[in-house]
Structure 1
């Protein structure tokens, strides 16, 4: 039996409950969670944006140590430090075979899976098939990525979602080149990671935008060259910083019609606008045919940073070890399991960056 953060239904208050996990089956591993980041996707699990199964163990961005493996597990074993991968591809579908594992059909649309029981015998689901806001988790071995020595186990949790998504959007989707200008709209964990990615790519102007003035210091700390507070005519300010043209690359990390239009309008003719934020079905964005033709901008989305965790986590780990990537500024609050409601409140208010749940960091 382990302690875990559970929500009983939509808009229910997260509670720390006792959960009995299943024994690892063939191909499964049991992981002692060291740390877990509180992501906006966790908030979306019960605020009406997503529709998982309930009761639900929250959490999907985490790191830990393997304590037990089931039959038929190869490549990892007890004592291995790992990053958890909530979007582990099947390696067999059309998308996987065509080198797009972030679009894997086995992962598409999966927001929860059954796994474990509450102390009264009620079955529970796990967020993204992980359920990382818990002392331990049982999940398929393909859902863990070995972590090289030299990367702090607590900060490594962020590699499982925010950093893969934000840096990946810049590296893999945008393919930002040295000297190019970048705009990042929305400075949560993923947006700040996109700023880190732009710095890693050697971008020139890195313009960070948020509604909250407080995010300015965070943005500059992770590599932004400019911080602007969002307003309806922001594109004019962006053009003033980029020779009157607009940015080469814009990354929208909110998922709202207004900020998508803002990012699009701030992009130069022939530039690229990448949507990273996950928005609502009924929040529609409109474009007219003339502007689509005239501006010749590329508009695309970046799912999970177009990342393959088995490839990209080791690469990001090397960036950390060799001093090119500093994850520490992304963490503004360190909490226990009982601190999750407060983390969601800060997230809703636009305060701070990542709240990191610390459980068993050694």
Structure 2
């Protein structure tokens, strides 16, 4: 492999020569064509989640299968695929009960890395993928074929941001038609939650963010109303749009404990709060236990949109091809691998929905 972006805490991102091993049993080697930058990657390299170092991150990717290991049945050389962080064995309790996103199966890649320096030192595959690189080796369950007429820079978005936001609405919360939905955070994941609410038939879709241009984007993606998060009396404003009750669902798509706390007062009785964004690993939120019990509130976590890759990805591709799912509009800019630092900094400043690295 010619290049991968390797990070060591306290040092800047750099492009290094890193070697990649051949795929082992049940694994595939994919040539990365496009990888989007997700805020989870930024949390990882900034040390928010206690990553093992040195690490190559990047997990929202698409490419072409170049080599397969022994006993691979889910992919073949030449397949155009999205590359997900989700691995599933198909046999454990969670896989057999419809929760493959929580698979507890054993994978060699859970304890081993296929990356190393030219001196032989291990380099970790961040977020189970390591796609800020020209090639990745992943388990065969992490790839899903996409059609030839779907551009891979669009397809890459389906690997995380789209399924996380949209799936939180349709899979985790199971929003009902006619419902009122509040989405806190109108970034890449939040806009897909807005899209999910549109697909679910929500009658009122309210987006909340600190950045006005993101609120404008939310309207493009289907929000019926928008509010700045700094606006006073948000609970009263939400009640004013929901018959005096409060929202049926509030989805918090940013990794902010303050946003989670802000969401609870926006709910109606028996409403549902869905925590989608991942805060720092040691973050906690004061929970008004009496209020939760007295109002029969539900608090749900949603990891990767409760996604079932092999059924959800083809469905989303079909929606895109019908013009019912926005992917093009999510891409703010495209960069070569050598300019990844610039692309990351733009994301951190809140100036991009998704920046995509195109190899």
Scaled by the length of structure 1, the TM-score of the pair is 0.93
4+ residue runs over 6 A deviation: none
Question: How far apart, in 1, do the equivalents of 2:110 and 2:74 lie?
Answer: 27
| Match runs of 1:189-228 below 5 Å | 189-228=188-227
Superposed CA deviations along residues 80-138 of structure 1, whole A, max 9, x for unmatched, are 11011211112222222222111222489x98852222234332111123111111112
Scaled by the length of structure 2, the TM-score of the pair is 0.94
Superposed CA deviations along residues 58-94 of structure 1, whole A, max 9, x for unmatched, are 2111011111222221232111110112111122222
Q: Is the 8 A contact 2:28 2:140 kept in 1?
A: yes
Q: Is the 8 A contact 1:185 1:191 kept in 2?
A: yes
Q: Is the 8 A contact 2:49 2:281 kept in 1?
A: no
The gaps in structure 2 that reach 5 residues or longer are: none
Q: Give the Å deviation of 1:228.
A: 1.0
Closer, same or farther: CA 177–335 of 1 in aligned 2, 3 Å: same
- Equivalent residue of 1:214, what SS? helix
Q: Quote the residue 1:316 is aligned against.
A: 316
The alignment status of 1:249 with 2:243, answered yes or no, reads no
Q: Is the 8 A contact 1:4 1:135 kept in 2?
A: yes
- Equivalent residue of 1:285, what SS? coil
Q: Quote the residue 1:326 is aligned against.
A: 326
The alignment status of 1:56 with 2:55, answered yes or no, reads yes
- Equivalent residue of 1:313, what SS? helix
Question: How far apart, in 1, do the equivalents of 2:128 and 2:170 lie?
Answer: 27
Range moving further from structure 2, 337-346 or 14-23: 337-346
Closer, same or farther: CA 229–112 of 1 in aligned 2, 3 Å: farther
Q: Quote the residue 1:14 is aligned against.
A: 13
* Count, aligned residues: 357
- Equivalent residue of 2:71, what SS? coil
Superposed CA deviations along residues 194-253 of structure 1, whole A, max 9, x for unmatched, are 111111112111111111112122111211111211026322222222222111111001
Question: How far apart, in 2, do the equivalents of 1:223 and 1:148 lie?
Answer: 27
The gaps in structure 1 that reach 5 residues or longer are: none
Q: Quote the residue 1:144 is aligned against.
A: 143
The alignment status of 1:261 with 2:257, answered yes or no, reads no
- Equivalent residue of 2:152, what SS? coil
Range moving further from structure 2, 220-229 or 117-126: 117-126
